[in-house]
Amino acid sequence: MYDEAAISAEFRALAAEADQAFREIQLGARQASESERDTILVRSCVYGYLYERHFLESVPMLLNELHWLRHNGRPRPPRPPRNALSVPRFQQARDELLDGLIARFWRELTG
Integer Cα distance of 6 and 33 in angstroms? 32
* pLDDT tens by residue, 73-98: 999 988 766 688 999 999 999 999 99
Integer Cα distance of 85 and 103 in angstroms? 28
Q: Write down the pLDDT at residue 72.
A: 97
Give the chain's domain count: 1
Structural domain boundaries enclosing 56: 4-110
The model's confidence at residue 99, banded by pLDDT at 50, 70 and 90, is very high
* pLDDT tens by residue, 26-63: 888 989 999 999 999 999 999 999 999 999 999 999 99
What is the pTM assigned to this prediction? Answer: 0.93
Q: Write down the pLDDT at residue 20.
A: 97
